[in-house]
């Protein structure tokens, strides 16, 4: 296309909406839904879509052992993005796990309306990266956030999971403004976690120091 290089074409093309892909999965699967099915249904949105999916899943209040397990896919997927892989891979013990139709419907019923509202205001704009550079950088950031998600801190996974979902959605839509919002939430998550760990360390030192 005259006047546009490959980077411009990548940024300005109209992407498929993740909300439509999730809605289609909900319509086409009446039984248990495996992570393999979810990955394959997302097609070229595999990395970003999976991060949005697992980010949303980790925003649901769960006990620390569950958040540690659900944070593992975020780490694996993000590491592959940072490395520059072209297709999302998950180990067999994860990718063949299935979500019950009731749980999947409940999750999608929560995710899809929120995605639709976000998609009304986000669009390709001010995207600072070219080609796969954005994938690698976002992958490195969400890898760090995924590690935070796995920490055994009650409700400590909400902010990093939210940041991960926002950054992945920004990557999917090439929206630089949403990227900044997601990064800001990620910084807030890091500050909160450091404060919690620091406070816990101080109290432990104080208590054990008095014994």
DSSP secondary structure letters along 79-142:
HHHHHT-SS----HHHHT-EE-HHHHHHHHHHHHHHHHHHHTT--SBS----TTHHHHHHHHHH
Question: According to the model, what pLDDT value does residue 4 have?
Answer: 37
Q: What 3-state class would DSSP assign to 156?
A: coil
Q: From CA 45, how far away is CA 13, in angstroms rounded? A: 14
Question: According to the model, what pLDDT value does residue 65 have?
Answer: 65
Residue 100 has pLDDT above 70, yes or no: yes
List pLDDT tens digits, range 39-93.
998 877 789 999 999 999 888 876 666 677 788 999 999 999 999 998 889 999 8
Question: According to the model, what pLDDT value does residue 207 have?
Answer: 77
Model confidence, pTM: 0.84
Model confidence at 3, in pLDDT bands (50, 70, 90)?
Answer: very low
Mean pLDDT of 135-162: 90
Question: According to the model, what pLDDT value does residue 6 have?
Answer: 37
Model confidence at 119, in pLDDT bands (50, 70, 90)?
Answer: very high
Question: According to the model, what pLDDT value does residue 64 have?
Answer: 63
Residue 9 has pLDDT above 70, yes or no: no
Residue 68: φ, ψ to 5°: -65, -40
Question: According to the model, what pLDDT value does residue 12 have?
Answer: 40
Mean pLDDT of 164-184: 95
List pLDDT tens digits, range 12-32.
445 578 899 999 999 988 889
Return the structure tokens found at 85.
Answer: 């892989």
Q: Give the up-direction half-sphere exposure of residue 165: CA atoms within 13 A in the CB hemisphere.
A: 24
Question: According to the model, what pLDDT value does residue 118 have?
Answer: 93
Q: From CA 159, how far away is CA 188, in angstroms rounded? A: 8
Residues β-bridged to residue 175: 125
Residue 106 has pLDDT above 50, yes or no: yes
Question: According to the model, what pLDDT value does residue 62 have?
Answer: 67
| Degrees to nearest 5, angle at CA 18 with 13 and 22 | 150
Q: From CA 175, how far away is CA 182, in angstroms rounded? A: 11
Residues β-bridged to residue 98: 34
CB atoms closer than 10 angstroms to residue 133? 12
Residue 175 has pLDDT above 50, yes or no: yes
């Amino acid at each position: 296309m005259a006047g546009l290089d490959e980077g411009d074409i990548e940024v300005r093309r109209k992407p498929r909406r993740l909300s439509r892909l999730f809605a289609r999965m909900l319509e086409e699967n009446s039984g248990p839904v495996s992570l393999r099915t979810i990955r394959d249904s997302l097609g070229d949105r595999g990395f970003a879509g999976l991060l949005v999916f697992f980010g949303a899943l980790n925003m649901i209040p769960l006990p620390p052992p569950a958040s540690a397990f659900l944070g593992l896919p975020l780490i694996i997927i993000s590491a592959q993005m940072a490395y520059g892989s072209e297709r999302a891979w998950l180990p067999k013990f994860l990718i063949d796990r299935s979500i019950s139709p009731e749980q999947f419907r409940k999750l999608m019923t929560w995710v899809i309306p929120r995605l639709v509202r976000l998609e009304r205001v986000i669009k390709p704009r001010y995207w600072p990266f070219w080609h796969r550079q954005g994938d690698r950088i976002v992958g490195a950031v969400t890898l760090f956030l995924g590690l935070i998600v796995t920490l055994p801190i009650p409700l400590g996974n909400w902010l990093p999971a939210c940041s991960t979902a926002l950054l992945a959605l920004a990557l999917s839509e090439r929206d630089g403004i949403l990227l900044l919002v997601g990064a800001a939430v990620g910084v807030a998550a890091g500050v909160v976690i450091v404060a919690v760990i620091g406070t816990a360390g101080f109290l432990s030192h104080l208590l054990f120091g008095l014994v």
